[in-house]
Structure 1
Amino acid sequence: MTAQSGCVLALSGGVGGAKLSLGLDRVLPPGDLHVLANTGDDFEHLGLSISPDIDTLLYTLSGRSNQTLGWGLEGESWNTMEALEALGGDTWFRLGDRDIATHLWRTERLAGGADLAAVTQELARRMQINSHIHPMSNQAVRTTVHSVEGHLPFQHYFVRRQCEPAVTGFSFEGLEQAQANAQVMELLATNQFSHIIVCPSNPFVSIDPILQVSGIWHALRDSSAAVTMVSPIVAGQAIKGPAAKMMTELAVPVTALGVAKHYVDKYPGLVDDFLIDQSDATLAPEISALGMRAHIAPTVMKTLEDKIQLAQTCLALETT
């Protein structure tokens, strides 16, 4: 797998990042998109190795995602969960019958000695995806949510507790041992990317885990490609997920400006271009004052056309 000049790197969490990744996948030549995916959400459940953000990308880019639920596979059935529930088993994390096949395949391959990058690459190939999906690391990094109720593994907070406990912070277990995805780091070191795009994913639990793997954010900052970030907050609300709730609980202003300040404070010099929605246009001068180039465009993605349009906007920024 060799990148050519003009390839694009996207950083993505789950649903929000997958939407923009789909738009990029549709407008770029086959094979030109590389997506660096968060694996801090990964966990072991019912004996299976589950990678929720990677699977959301796989299902979205292959056209198989469940449009009704917003996660999982279209046309899913739930016979296994129903049978497990009848046995008194643990069913708080819902796994569809077809989705389980993905986890069974991944678990068997990992147990056989393959690493997560190779397994993800093979899954993408089998799902006929032309773009490249890369885990941020082959080593396990696990997000812990610190809350008023104590420390919670991410999926227990996100799914089991439905994001109810107020958060006080986050930590990422395994960071000290985690090595950045070797292929992406090589592509960055040799300046193979014309664009680097941070998708509108949760800053704290989707993008921070990626950036905090040793060497990644510095490599992104030092790349010859400009780094464009799309704000996940629009008009004071998160389009998807608990980002706005987390920001309120952490006393971070729930605005695109609050997101921009988060990245400036934690990763100085990383972001070159910051894309905000038209509804937040009045924030552009303050964002620019932080040292970023603020851009205004429609960023809410409801249709495939919206996703494609936002992708095209991101790719055109450096030529305008």
Structure 2
Amino acid sequence: MSLMDISKIFSLLQPKEHEEEDTNCSQELNQAVFKDDDKLLTDLVSQDRYRRCVNLRSGWGVPVTPLRTAASQGHLRCLELLLAHGAEVDSLDVKAQTPLFTAVAGKHLDCVVALLKAGADPNGSPYNNCSPVFTAAREGDVDILRELLQHRADVDVKPKIPDWASNAMACRGPLYISACYGHLECFKLLLQHGANPDYNCTEEKMLSRIKQPKTVLEMCLRYDCGPQYIQLLVDFGANVYQPTVIADKTTRQNEAVLLLLKERVCPKTLMSQARLSLWKFLPMENKMCCIDCLDIPKILKDYLNHVS
């Protein structure tokens, strides 16, 4: 390769004048957001050349948009300002993470609320291996989880693994994760919004590829999550006959196991059966909201919603 050819290649790699200017503008926007300087940001986005760059990525290492920076840092005023000036609410970074996902991961509730109101997809990106609901359930962020579920996030979102790698992990969704990490309020909230009390993964094709799919009830017993988790699963209609309870030297006959054995021999009350029947009749999405719309006394709504 001649020296002339090499020079030509390098000249092609050099950014055009307007591209370099746009990159500088994007960097200035990101710096203003990172410093949470909403006054400077207001001044910048009032200019056409900066508004044109509001969705450009910049920065060392992992280039990000200004909106992603605002969401990850929890800078609400800057985030709202960017949204008002045309920032794409579901723009992706190189990890396929949306601004909503980074706000959830950073535990910034106010930013989560603002992004959802602006139309952000509560399920995040289908190209990311994780999801906002998974993250909130794992971290025990019940307020953030409630916002996501109220905006119709998938309550039974499954782990994103290839079909050929299907194993017991495919049944471990948000409900299972919240139990493993000891987040009882998140566990109950997921059930209240329609989480399947038997399997986190309800896709028959996926379940058929797993030799021994484990129910949430069985996993709660195995990892000694406590009687509160077992009682909630029973109240929400989990099949109490699916888990195998082995009484031998290694099995601790704790309160949770005794509760399960009692449920196997004692029939449910008529009120419990009526609640379960109505619960299954309601649509999967936002069951609590559907119950709140019923023309019945509040005490009955609370009972149907499992609110004590």
Greater relative CO (CA pairs within 8 A, separation 6+): 1
* TM-score (normalizing by structure 2): 0.31
Higher strand share: 1
* TM-score (normalizing by structure 1): 0.30
